[in-house]
A and B are shown apart, each in its own frame.
Chain A
Amino acid sequence: MAVTEPHLTPEPGAVRPDLDRKKSLLSQIWEHRALYAAISPFYILFAVFGLFPIGFSLYLAFHKWDGIGVMTYNGLNNFKYMLTDAEFWQAVGNTFMIWIYSTIPMLFFALIVAFLLHAPFVKFRTLFRVGYFLPNVTSIVAVAIIFGALFANNYGFLNYLLQSVGLPVVEWLNAPWGIKVAISSMVVWRWTGYNAVIYLAGLQSIPQTLYEAAKIDGASGIQSFFRITIPMLRPVILFTVITSTIGGMQLFTEPQILVGNDGGAGAAGMTIVLYLYRESFINNYFGYGAAVGWGMFLIIALFSIVNWKLVQGKSS
């Protein structure tokens, strides 16, 4: 190339600090201290409230601590206890069951809702969008109390409905599956609108020309849904699956308020985080609670990868 690019050539005398290799990193930081100071609040807050607790919980996981007294080194005992604790594995199983009960209907409904919201004949779209999103910002404690009244064994609204059409009463909060259904329904109610809004954004980003081209080629509505909409939405679906995996594995408030710290009858509503909470804050085994936290981290990481492979794998 014969053409020179004068604007890339440094002017004599002017030093471009980012290209200046002679200065050390520290002195560069010092030179731009005003800028670093400007962005520091995030890093300081993250270090104090994010990084430190993470590091401390790892430290704690190898210790025995009642929360007040002295910490004693406990080696791998916390992890050993966790792996051999039937209640821990029950909590893992419960969490997965609740995740399945809630995520599949939730994402399915969300897709339908998003599709309807995107349809050209719908009026007052913003109103509907706000309406579907509203459950997500409702206080979860209030929600759990209402669902508790719906599913109550005696005098519950659902049982009232069942009775009034002549069906036998179901002891929702005594049956292992009933507790899981009650918790899952709360999750579905709360997160369907949230996911629908995300799907809607995805739908709106699909170029209209694709549909027009398909139409000209003679594709039916169903064909264009499965051949255009779903493939184009795949990254969005992947996102919602991953977020609901993480959210589902961390389920806590719903079961805690609905069935209490012990997970209700037969501990059927005991989730991993509820177990972590009970062991740390009720039974005062803080070291053990930290170990459970790290166990949960591994489970979420593995499970997210599996989900990612499953959802992603089909497209490629």
Chain B
Amino acid sequence: MIRRKKTCWTAIMMVCVLLISGCSIWPGQDDSANNKKVALTLWYWNRSIDDKLIAKAREQFPNIELTAQKIGGDFKAKLKTTLAAKSGEPDIVALNDWIMELFPSEDRFYNLYDLGAGDVEDQYLEWKWKQGVTPSGQMIGFPMDTGPTALFYRADLFKEAGLPSEPAEVSRQLNSWEAYAAAGEQIKEKLGGKVFLTDNIGSVYNQVLSQGAERYFRPDGSFIGMDSPLVRTSWDTAIDFKQKGLLANADGWTPGWNAAMNNGEIASFVGAVWMKQVLQEAAPDTSGKWRVARAPGGDGNNGGSFLSILKSSEHPQEAFELVRWLQSPENQLEQYQTLNLFPSAPGVFDSPAMKEEEPFFGGQATGSVFAESAQHVPDAFFGERYPSVHNIITRRLNDVAKQNADAQQVWTDTVHRVERELQR
């Protein structure tokens, strides 16, 4: 009797343990076998794809059972964890401009060229398309939106300082970083030193760099060196801005930045098209006073995302058809209207939706400025180690800007630090 009781208890305990530890005793049944629909999972983050477009996709592809999951929090970390675990991977996944960090793991993705991506290549911006292609020639990311850059400036403050205030004139006169710095000094002088030309040193460095073609690495993975002309120019320009006192030292994504923008302490900044939204939310009181002109020194790009198909997907062809449809030029244009995602398909740049006047920018149609910029972004190679090298440099620049560290000393340290980093 006691013995049976014990056995019974043991059984109960074991079941409890299994339940707690989340083990499943019975293998999951395969639904797809008796269901003709193809099941696809899509991972994206809030505001990267319009929810209405996803609903439309379900109508467009009745044979696809689409599960679209908005992944919150640290998207990249979650994706990497899933990739490391090799289980529970989605079929389609959105990637941001950190796509190059995944190039060493290109074998975990389908080569979109194999699925027919080449057929639509000419519909997209060449430089954007290339960002999704690994050095070995595999295409792992299909173009979503882009982030062409331009100069955001306060027309009223520019006027007060005796500078041109009309976008066309600003684009023409402030066409180089030197001219832009000179304008900054004029603003400082005329407006009693209360208004800074731009926000922070990192943004100056980053924007000069993003206008050039050669970054830190060549496509074969070799390091160009810290003495590459582009890196030197970007560094020197950033230091020059600091020494001339043109920086408000307001870091992006902080309440201080928002406040400085809203209070009119910052007269301008070079930023990507998505900064429109950021600025409108940060500085509602300055509505109507901003304008957008072509960036000094040339056009560049910040950010922009991609869609990828993971190798674990059982239905890559269907997934690719879906991706191609979601990011077709027409749908990209629609998402420009709904979510302000700037298209990577130049074919729609001339459509009326891109030329709408915006009250926040004093009725200027800023879409055409960014469209012009997007078509002149230089073709640049990043490489998977770009983020770590770039991060070291911008971090050290901040020491110069905020703690008045000696620029020459910091440069020497930075070169040393980058060399160490690359030996790892």
| Minimum CB–CB distance for B84 against chain A, Å | 5
A265:B20 contact, CB within 8 angstroms: no
Interface residue ranges of A288-314 to B (CB < 8 Å) = 288
Given contacts A44-B21, A152-B255, A266-B402, contact A37 B10 (CB under 8 A): yes
A265:B398 contact, CB within 8 angstroms: yes
B260:A154 contact, CB within 8 angstroms: yes
Interface residue ranges of A54-104 to B (CB < 8 Å) = 66-69, 81, 85
Chain B neighbourhood of A288, CB < 8 A: 424
Chain B neighbourhood of A34, CB < 8 A: 6, 9-10, 13
Interface residue ranges of B102-129 to A (CB < 8 Å) = 102, 104-105, 108
CA distance A300 to B103 in the complex (A): 38
A149 within 8 A of B: yes
B10:A153 contact, CB within 8 angstroms: no
Across the interface, name the chain B residue whose C-beta is closest to A278.
Answer: B391
A154:B403 contact, CB within 8 angstroms: no
Chain A window 132-153, contacts with chain B (Cβ cutoff 8 Å), 1 for yes, 0 for no? 0000000000000000110011
Across the interface, name the chain B residue whose C-beta is closest to A87.
Answer: B417
Given contacts A174-B249, A285-B424, contact A266 B399 (CB under 8 A): yes
A153:B104 contact, CB within 8 angstroms: no
B6:A154 contact, CB within 8 angstroms: no
Given contacts A68-B80, A155-B256, A176-B403, contact A262 B105 (CB under 8 A): no
B65 within 8 A of A: no
A155:B402 contact, CB within 8 angstroms: no
Chain B window 81-114, contacts with chain A (Cβ cutoff 8 Å), 1 for yes, 0 for no? 1011000000000000000011011001000000
Given contacts A154-B250, A262-B395, contact A41 B403 (CB under 8 A): no
B17 within 8 A of A: yes
The number of chain A residues with a CB under 8 A from chain B is 35
Across the interface, name the chain A residue whose C-beta is closest to B79.
Answer: A68
A283 within 8 A of B: yes
A215 within 8 A of B: no
Across the interface, name the chain A residue whose C-beta is closest to B421.
Answer: A283
Across the interface, name the chain B residue whose C-beta is closest to A145.
Answer: B255
Chain A neighbourhood of B168, CB < 8 A: none
Across the interface, name the chain A residue whose C-beta is closest to B260.
Answer: A154
Interface residue ranges of A234-285 to B (CB < 8 Å) = 262, 265-267, 281-285
B16 within 8 A of A: yes
A25 within 8 A of B: no
| Minimum CB–CB distance for B375 against chain A, Å | 33
CA distance A152 to B254 in the complex (A): 9
A152:B402 contact, CB within 8 angstroms: no
Chain A neighbourhood of B13, CB < 8 A: 34, 37-38, 40
| Minimum CB–CB distance for B166 against chain A, Å | 31
Chain A window 14-40, contacts with chain B (Cβ cutoff 8 Å), 1 for yes, 0 for no? 000000000000000000011001101
B422 within 8 A of A: no
Interface residue ranges of B231-264 to A (CB < 8 Å) = 249-250, 254-256, 259-260
A265:B402 contact, CB within 8 angstroms: yes
Given contacts A34-B10, A41-B20, contact A68 B108 (CB under 8 A): yes
Listed in ascending order, the chain B residues whose CB lies under 8 Å from chain A are: 6, 9-10, 13-14, 16-17, 20-21, 77, 80-81, 83-84, 101-102, 104-105, 108, 249-250, 254-256, 259-260, 387-388, 391, 395, 398-399, 402-403, 405, 420, 424
The 5 lowest CB-CB distance pairs between A and B, nearest first, are A37-B13, A34-B9, A174-B402, A265-B402, A68-B105
Having A152-B255, A154-B260, one finds 10 other A-B pairs with CB under 8 Å, namely: A34-B10, A44-B20, A45-B20, A68-B83, A152-B254, A155-B255, A171-B402, A266-B399, A282-B387, A284-B80
